[in-house]
Structure 1
């Protein structure tokens, strides 16, 4: 039942009657009776409708898909910050002419220290910078030319050309490396994690001839910082990655609670999706079902997650084709029934992952794209067939009648509820008025007069006919003033099973409670 809709239509009905009154010279009270709203109370209203399917025998099935974990192992391949210092000085007194080179030693390749046996041969830089500090101990400007033939963008190598003024750290510049392809073989298949580089330092063509004393010249400090690959290829080594204990939130049962609840059947499929171009092995452990409302916890017991082997993903046309490992848990290979019957709002887990457990089986052809890793999805299927003493459905709806002055003229009245119950259990209804401080300030239903009797059932506890009854909910002006103060209405429906031994109940797609609400009010019409 959507109580919010009922109240809105109630206020509109009163407002319409008030605005259509005839002119008079007196005040009088009138009794008004009329329909307010028709609605249906269905378990779909409390658990998202799109989650339900119907089996061949008409029983509702709750189907839920949630992401439990996403382990971004691409972070294993981040290139470490690397700084190198090159000096270009003369060992003897030397007279330099404009444009004359000072190169004494040939340039050396730059090798990144990645550790863990990682050997990369190619990459695309997503983000990163090259910061260079230039110093010149000669009294005239020097020209610096730096070429990285294996670092290319749009097919063109990275070339840096600067004029260095005299002085220590006389020029400091940062060059973005975003989007550059990088050949990490130094131009040959025998090298990994290495780039080639060449330097040229010369006296500026516009400088004056100068005498360079021994030990003077240029000092270049190059810092490769914050380099994050968009793509990497090579061998990623044999690494072990701990999965520290973490929590995944579930919102499936946030409006549902029960006493002595136990499902008759359920399945939980873990889909482990590998987006990485490398093999993995590992285990998930310490998986717990947490119900923070009842402060209860159930640890998952199964051998299915203790030794998991996951094949590598594949790539085609610069796209990742992930591999999927499916692990199915049911009541025969796990304690999945009490695990889900705990009605968890959180799952906790931990584990470990081993990268390339069999070594370099790809021949330096492991690959990874940015923001990829191992994703763990949980597919839960719950046939709505269970045993319970009772269960509670609740929902919260916002309201705001602060500025509706016409409510002040209502003296008293009743909500008259005509109810048809097609469920195999009694429904005890209550609606709480909640103010802007999230404090309950009133309730709408009268205890003892808020029970909708269960439908008529056969010996298998299947509803064969609905029950009918009428409820009266009295209210006065004071209760209406509390409605005006309220910001939310919390509706609770406690569904009580037959006693003393509650039978197994199946919820069918056809089960619902039909509600017709009629308003009967005494209303004061005032002369203006």
Structure 2
């Protein structure tokens, strides 16, 4: 289809050239003939060369890789929003705090904060990519108090996470948020995991001594929120992650249909890349090939009970493990599945984290933006049975402002083709208005077919065939072109009788020449 799109662009440029001529007075009609395009094409020009490869026999294969699904770090492990309320009060006795004096440490002992991670996960290290700590302070005294809150387990660039604020007297007298970005938390405290230590210091920040009555002091509501890990290490627990039913687009061959199409062979290789430092087991199911209303379910037992090894690392370099499962004609219905020419796949599945438990000894690891990726490597040898293919594409055009079109009286475009493919090609281009309504067609039905190459009894091309097609350009077509906004190009490839299967070889080519013959009214002062 790229060839025809390119042709429309060249025609537009030529008409624009005539439009740039100065307006004149004297007129006469001239016949002009000029070449538009000469090109040697193969099938890659119609579909894009990046999806083709060639085997040792010269047979073209359609080859493509598509990502089916991906599971990221946030699906594996997360630190939930956690809020604690801490009262910094004097128990049992009243206490006088002079100006600038700190409350004695005996009254403010370090405390533990444990994150409820879930699924039995026991984390020892988490680096924070983004996150915040929100604190709402209340001061029940008459003087401002300075609070120094430190998390010795949280370090960034060698500095501990520390809050140092002066809290005015009053209820909810100060509300602040603090960035946790870039801090690394050591969550192993003694024999505890998922836990940090918090220390506190309180100082009289006022100019006068203050008496702290029994039960009075500072209250701080501390909330860890929206924490996104950059890195996590520990034991990630044992849990099931559901891969919910979903659909992925393939977009291998667009706007392509076929009748009575069946491949001779095909294979699809599922590659599961695990970038996490933990083991998994899992399965994929309910995989369907969808092409419009045509749906074919995949039948195979190859995608059940998949065991996936952990990734390894050297420093910060991750080496994913790869689990490959090949679906072939002898272990699945992959040939009819891909013969459906799917434009999308549906699927679902599930995975189990650490099915055998804590094999790593608390050394599971995961990094942000890594995960488990399920890739589909599709390989389709272009050897098949079919009656015909149809390719359709729509291109925008704008000849409305090309006033010199009015000076074209009549003419034609001549397509000369030397076809080395085993199929013939019937061409048509429909001129459409802005609503997609057909205004006209360019090719003359019955005179718009490029003959296929001559084939032997194996449907292999033994000689190219020559065809010439005339595309008339009448005044009516010119007016339709001026009012059109789109052109829909339809190409029907008609196969020779089969079996045997038709093969598309890399050395098959089609030579195309496009020439314009126009009668044009020229003007001169």
Are 1:346 and 2:349 counterparts?
no
Q: Tell me the equivalent position of 2:180.
A: 177
Determine the C-alpha separation between the residues in 1 that align with 2:232 and 2:242. 22
TM-score by length of 2: 0.94
Identify unmatched segments of 5+ residues in structure 2.
Answer: none
Shift of 1:130: 1.0
Determine the C-alpha separation between the residues in 1 that align with 2:345 and 2:420. 34
Shift of 1:438: 3.8
Q: Tell me the equivalent position of 1:290.
A: 290
Shift of 1:400: 2.7
TM-score by length of 1: 0.94
Corresponding residue SS for 1:46: helix
- CA 1:11–1:272 in 2, change beyond 3 Å: closer, same or farther? closer
Shift of 1:527: 5.3
- CA 1:229–1:249 in 2, change beyond 3 Å: closer, same or farther? same
Q: Tell me the equivalent position of 2:517.
A: 520
Are 1:127 and 2:130 counterparts?
yes
Shift of 1:342: 0.3
Q: Tell me the equivalent position of 1:39.
A: 39
Determine the C-alpha separation between the residues in 1 that align with 2:29 and 2:398. 26
* Matches for 1:378-393 after TM superposition, within 5 Å: 378-393=376-391
Q: Tell me the equivalent position of 1:213.
A: 213
Are 1:153 and 2:156 counterparts?
yes
- CA 1:16–1:284 in 2, change beyond 3 Å: closer, same or farther? closer
Corresponding residue SS for 1:357: coil
On the 8 A contact 2:131/2:228 being kept in 1, the answer is yes
Are 1:116 and 2:119 counterparts?
yes
RMSD: 2.1
Shift of 1:23: 7.3
Query: CA deviation digits over 1:472-527, x for unaligned, max 9?
Result: 1112122122223333332221111234x554100111223222122222222345
Query: CA deviation digits over 1:166-220, x for unaligned, max 9?
Result: 111111111101000111012x3x110000111112322x420123333321111
Identify unmatched segments of 5+ residues in structure 1.
Answer: none
Of 15-24 and 322-331, more deviation after overlay is shown by 15-24
Of 317-326 and 468-477, more deviation after overlay is shown by 468-477
On the 8 A contact 2:138/2:174 being kept in 1, the answer is yes
Shift of 1:73: 4.3
Corresponding residue SS for 2:434: coil
On the 8 A contact 1:141/1:207 being kept in 2, the answer is no
Determine the C-alpha separation between the residues in 1 that align with 2:195 and 2:11. 76
Determine the C-alpha separation between the residues in 1 that align with 2:450 and 2:414. 13
- CA 1:47–1:197 in 2, change beyond 3 Å: closer, same or farther? same
Determine the C-alpha separation between the residues in 1 that align with 2:423 and 2:122. 66
- CA 1:512–1:439 in 2, change beyond 3 Å: closer, same or farther? farther
Determine the C-alpha separation between the residues in 2 that align with 1:518 and 1:199. 87
- CA 1:5–1:233 in 2, change beyond 3 Å: closer, same or farther? closer
On the 8 A contact 2:187/2:193 being kept in 1, the answer is yes
